Each structure stands twice: as structure tokens, then as C-alpha cells.
A and B are shown apart, each in its own frame.
Chain A
Amino acid sequence: MNFELTNEQQMLKEMVQDFADKEIVPYAREVDETSKMRYETFEKLGELGLLGIPFPEKYGGAGGDTISYCIAVEEIGKACGGTGLSYAANTSLGASPIYYFGTEEQKQEWLVPMAKGKTMGAFGLTEPNAGSDAGGTRTRAILDGDEWVINGEKCWITNAGYSRQIIVTAVTGKREDGRNIVSAIIVPSDTPGVTISCNYDKMGVRGSNTCEIILENVRVPRANLLGDEKKGFSQFLFTLDGGRISIAALSVGIAQAALDKALQFAKERQQFGQSISKFQAIQFKLADMAMELELARNQVYKAAWLKDQGKPFGKEAAFAKLFASEAGFRICNQAIQIHGGSGYMKEYDVERYLRDIKLMEIGEGTSEIQRLVIARHLGC
């Protein structure tokens, strides 16, 4: 066993930290207030090779491991939760499915520009009537000659407004047992019939672009089907397992920011003639926060490590996501508490952390769904 980051991972961490301090932190409040993603940040992330960390060099990536990717997500999330969400969704949901399930042509056409940071990508699974229950997908794709004709509606799709293509899930047929076959199809965003509107007024992660997508008689080549038509569903499950590790890493980043602020505030704030960090009540809060944060980070690294070793990681990814998001929420909440009335004010940032981290208990599988996944791994 070895709990130390490699030289490269350590260097990456410092590089992303430096970059985030200069290029992300100064805009975090602005993107939260305006609810507008700062695309320039992503162009710069692309120039540094950070949009293709876990993909091989031959696909324009950096050939890094999942741990390196998690380190980057954590550091970006620490600077700005919204930017962190868009960053994580871009790699885990927008690009990974094409890397894992795409044909060579699809990788060249769609993955390479993403990994090089020339464009972003999105993954559209959720619909107004199909959230946790992805099997309830209503969007349909019907084969007409050499083209898929797609009709349906997707909601809350991250990055769709900045993506060259969106991977859309749709019902393509019925199994023998009568259940729907759900497949994934790559839809270029500029295809006629695709309408993308990004006007949600969100509670948090407001620096992240979130869109509604309407698909009306959208025609794409038959060759745009991603992976195996019949195995569409298990493909998303694999994609989501990977995505969960990154949502856990993002939770750790936001929670770390909250702990840093709370600790600093507690040392500086004087009440009753001494700094409040001298009160045991505050010390115990900080101790719990630091402990939960470290445990969450360890689980993120463990799940990432298992994935890098090619071992099963679904259960561990669910552990990581569930624990990091829920512990992270507690940490952000306590950070506000330690700040007292100041914490309730926007200028101290901790209220934003709480709004941002709430999404982590919902996106890419709610906490309840994580518990279902874990229970299934236990054989229930």
C-alpha cells in the first residue's frame, strides 16, 4: 500500500491550484451571481491539457490516470463549484462514453476535439418523466433508412449550450420481455430540430451551464449510435459509475474550501475575549469536518485507484459519492454555523458552498439511488 501521490500527481495538483487561484477564484462570485458560465476558463483549461486528462495521447488526451483527474476536479471545485461541475461533467459524461464505447471513427470525430479542449460535450439522460428511473425514458429514435429520427425532450443537461455534440439516450425498440431498449446516440448540436435553451434559475452551481433540449424530428446518421444498441443501458451504468467518482471529488473540493474558510474565520473571530477557535464547541465542529473530509478524499482515491487498476469499482464509487456529498453538505453547513451571522452573508462565500454542494446529493444518482446501488452490490 502507498498513500502518497506520485511526483506527477503532486505537480498537477500544484499547477491546477495555481491556475485556479488566478483564473477561477476571482470569477467564482460573478458566475454565481450572473448564472453565466465563463467559457474562457474552459479554453484555458483546454490549453493546459486539462480537458483530456484520462484519455490516451492518441486521442488528444494526456494519458493521465483517474486519480489525476480527480485531483483536478477537486482543485477546480475548491475554487468554484459551478465551474467544477461543468468540468467534471464534460470529461465524465460528455467524453468518457465515446472513449469507452465509441468506434474508432467516432473517437476521431468527437472525442479528439474534446480532449484537446476545442469544444465541450454533454450527456442527455434525464427527462421530465425519467430521472432516477432512466428506464422510463420517453425519447424515441426510429430507424428510417440510414438515419435515426429522434423525438423527445431532455432536461437539466450540463454544458449543452457549449457542446458540439450531445449524447442522447432514446428508446430504440423493445426486448422480448416487453421492456424498452434504451440506446445512446451522438447528436451534433447544430442538427435541424434540436433546440437548446439554457434558462434555468438554479439554487447553486450557477457557474455551470444547464439546459433543456427539445428534439423534433432530428435526423442523424445511423453510424452515430454509440456502442452496442442492445447494451445501451449497461453502458450508461458504467458511465455513471465513473461520473460518481468525479462528483465525489467535486464534493471534496467544495468541502475543503468550506473547511479552510471556517478554520481561518474561527482563528480570527474574537468573542468573549478570545478567538472562537478556543471554544471546545467550535473545535469539535472543526475536528469533525476535517475528519469527514479526509475520509471522503480517501474513498475518492480508492475508487479512482480501483478503476485505474481495471478492477470492479461500482460499489466503491457509490460509497465515495454518497459519503463525500453528504459529509460535504454537513461540512458546508457547519462552516456557515461557525461564521455566525457573517456566514449568512454572500461576501463570506460559505453560503455559496452550501448551495453548490447540495447538487452533489442529487446529480448523477441521488443519495437514495446510491443506497440502492450499494444494497444491490451487497446482494439484496
Chain B
Amino acid sequence: MNIFVLLKRTFDTEEKITIAKGAINEEGAEFIINPYDEYAVEEAIQLRDNHGGEVTVVTVGNEEAEKQLRTALAMGADKAVLINTEDDLESGDQFTTAKILAEYLKDKEADIILAGNVAIDSGSGQVGPRVADLLDIPYVTTITNLEISGETVTVVRDVEGDSETIETKLPVLVTAQQGLNEPRYPSLPGIMKAKKKPLEELELDDLDLDEDDVEAKTKVVEIFLPPTKEAGRVLEGELDAQVKELVNLLHKEAKVI
């Protein structure tokens, strides 16, 4: 089975995020594999172990992403591809990333492509579906279970806390939701082996793409942190009066009802 994983290097949102000059301050930030992509890597390795074949992890990014690719190799992926856009692109969006990935994948005869459901940094959830669309293959998002038998793919997907079972055929693209599996730690022998596994580096040129072909379709107008949480308020008085006041506040102040 020819298995591909789309992987993004993101900053760790569990660490404190600061903004400087309209951009996320990268200094001091910790960088990790996008957690949803980790589920995708784990699922890909399990698929390979059960069905044979090869797992290739692909990322669009810069040199720094080599570390996250090596981590995926240490977990057990076979090959990695870094599409380095550092010298070619100043900025990009989901369209840019999807277009580059699709261009890379179009002649690879992938049986299955796994991606994360969203990247925790920009959170659009678009890259996976866009790639599938460009490749003209079906896709299923936010999956929590995956079974493949022959050409038939049975997927359980998370729909707002409920689940839906979908049957489709290979080739397919799926995006991983929390709960799909428990990603393994890269073992130490895995880490040592990762060093020797192939990591190919490509640029836009190698994919016959121009900057114009992948120019972003959207523009970031502003980046700001959510307002700091204010202290809670404890209502007092008769129960009836409290309920009335609460409803009133939710309506007039919080404007949620």
C-alpha cells in the first residue's frame, strides 16, 4: 500500500504565545508536529504494518521542519519529503499549501493520504479536502476509525460528538480526529534509525511550479490574542431573582441568547 501523510510543523499552543509586530513571536515558542497529524502518522504506520507498503510523510515548510519529519521517521515512517518554500514564497495560505502538495502527489499513485483534521495554529481544516479535490479523489474528514479491506474503506467520522459510518473506495484522503489512535513515542532505536532514512528536499522549481501558480488567495489582515479572561461574577439574592438576572446578562451583556 502506498501511504502518504501530510504533516505540518506548528508551534505548541500549550506554551505561552506572544505577538510581536503583527505576527506570532517565534522566539521562545516550542515547535511540534501538529497533534492531529501525529494521529495521521500513527494510523499510517499501523496501516503499513497490517497491509504492507510504505509510508511517506510530506511537509511544506522550511529547513526547520526537518526535525518534525525526522520525528515521524523515528516513529516508523519510511521516507520523508520536505518541500522547502523558504526561498520562493514570502507568505502562503491553505490554497498555496494544498496546490503544492497536490502537484507533488499527482503522479505518486497514492492509495491513501492521511492528514490532520486541522492544524492547531491556523485552524482552517482546509488543506486535506483541498488536496483531495485537486487530485479528484474522495475524502472523509475528522475520522475516528479506519478499516480497509481490499479496495473498500470503512470510516467512522466524528460529527459534533456523534458518529457517522461511511464506506468509500481507495484511493482516498482522510483527516484524523482525536480518538483515532494513541500515537506512539518514537523509540530510541527508532530515533537512531531515522537518521539513515531518506529525506528528500524539493523546491517549487522541482514541481514545475511558479510563485504565481501558488499565490495566496487570502490575506491576513490582523492577528490578535483573545481578550484575557475576566474574573467571574457570583450572583446573589433570591433564587428567582438570580435566574432572571442571569438570563438578562446572557442576553444583554454576553449577547449569547
Residues on A facing B (Cβ under 8 Å)? 7-8, 10-12, 14-15, 18-19, 47-50, 53, 57, 62-64, 68
Contacts and interface: CB of A to CB of B under 8 A. Distances in A.
Contacts of A49: 187-190
Contacts of B194: 8, 11
B185 A15 contact: yes
B187 A11 contact: no
Contacts, number: 44
B185 A12 contact: no
B77 to A, nearest CB: 14
Given A7-B195, A62-B192, A63-B192, A48 B70 contact: no
Given A11-B194, A12-B188, 13 more contacts: A7-B66, A7-B195, A8-B191, A8-B192, A8-B195, A11-B191, A12-B191, A15-B74, A15-B185, A49-B190, A50-B188, A62-B189, A68-B188
Interface string B38-67: 000000000000000000000000000011
A68 B189 CA distance: 12
Contact of B67 (A7, A12, A62): A7
Q: Which 3 A-B pairs have the closest CB atoms?
A: A49-B188, A62-B188, A49-B189
A48 B185 contact: yes
B94 interface: no
B125 interface: no
A15 B191 contact: yes
A15 B186 contact: yes
A221 B139 CA distance: 66
B141 interface: no
Contacts of B195: 7-8
Contacts of B97: none
A372 B32 CA distance: 46
B85 interface: no
Given A63-B192, A64-B192, A11 B186 contact: yes
A340 B78 CA distance: 53
Interface string B181-213: 000011111111011000000000000000000
B70 A11 contact: yes
A255 to B, nearest CB: 22
B71 interface: yes
A48 B67 contact: no
